[in-house]
């Protein structure tokens, strides 16, 4: 059966000069971890250097918009900072987030070219799911438009755990890992920003 749905061929060229962040929630980590791995896989495959990939985590998806906004603002500050040796870790430290990966003083002094926000919302018995999904999607769009940095929408809003597993490439249907699409989109948008 011909697959119609999907992003089509990735338009990623040489990502070696890009600086990309992944900000992910820690709810539903079995699915999250696979999505993050998929995003990183396609970032690296497009030539983004490991040291130019910063990973930050937040408790849940509701915290994603603020974390993305703060991380990008900190990277801008870092880029503009003088030789006072203000380290990225100082700038990126945040009470809501745990910074892993290469966010350290050695990070390149440039703002992020794209940020991938990853979360998994699984519908429960209440309206909590709808309110978080609505707030986070509007929040991420606002951060993107206000800041000008491409924010790749990696929020899965699924009705069952199985739907989430499927979209992380962990199901039985052979569905691909959607995180890979987000990695490719980050490279494409990051490069386009420079055109
Ligand atoms: O409730 N379900 C979920 C959830 N709730 C926590 C919320 O995002 C936030 O962290 C807290 O409300 C505290 O602000 N966060 C998710 O990422 N996925 C869920 O499925």
Atom of ligand 1 nearest to the CA of 58: 10
- In angstroms, the CA 150 to CA 114 distance is 5
Residue located nearest, by CA, to atom 3 of ligand 1: 121
* DSSP structure class, residue 17: T
Residue 134 alpha carbon to ligand 1 centre in Å: 12
Atom of ligand 1 nearest to the CA of 119: 17
99-124 core/surface letters (b: 16 or more CB in 10 A; e: else) = bebbbeeebeeebbbbbbbbbbbbbe
Read off the pLDDT band of 6 (50, 70, 90): confident
Q: Is the pLDDT of residue 117 over 80?
A: yes
Read off the pLDDT band of 4 (50, 70, 90): confident
pTM score of the predicted model: 0.87
Q: Is 176 a catalytic residue?
A: no
Residue located nearest, by CA, to atom 7 of ligand 1: 60
Pocket-testing residue among 121, 134, 155, 164, ligand 1, by greatest number of atoms within 8 A of Cβ: 121
**Tokens 């000069």 sit at which residue?**
17
Whether 99 and 92 have beta carbons less than 8 Å apart is answered as yes
pLDDT, tens digit, for every residue of 24-82?
999 999 999 999 999 999 999 999 999 999 999 999 999 999 999 999 999 999 888 84
Atom of ligand 1 nearest to the CA of 136: 8
């Amino acid at each position: 059966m011909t697959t119609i749905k999907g992003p089509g061929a990735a338009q990623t060229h040489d990502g070696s000069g890009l600086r990309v962040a992944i900000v992910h929630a820690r709810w539903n980590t079995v699915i999250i971890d696979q999505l993050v791995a998929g995003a990183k896989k396609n970032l690296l495959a497009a030539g983004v250097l490991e040291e130019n990939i910063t990973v930050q985590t937040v408790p849940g998806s509701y915290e994603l918009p603020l974390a993305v906004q703060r991380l990008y603002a900190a990277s801008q500050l870092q880029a503009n900072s003088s030789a006072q040796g203000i380290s990225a870790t100082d700038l990126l430290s945040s009470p809501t987030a745990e910074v892993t990966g290469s966010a350290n003083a050695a990070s390149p002094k440039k703002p992020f070219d794209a940020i991938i926000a990853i979360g998994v919302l699984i519908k429960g018995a209440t309206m909590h799911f709808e309110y978080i999904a609505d707030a986070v999607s509007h929040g991420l769009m606002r951060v993107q438009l206000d800041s000008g940095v491409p924010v790749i929408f990696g929020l899965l809003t699924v009705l069952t755990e199985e739907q989430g597993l499927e979209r992380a490439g962990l199901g039985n249907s052979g569905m691909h890992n959607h995180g890979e699409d987000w990695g490719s989109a980050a490279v494409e948008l990051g490069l386009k920003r420079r055109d």
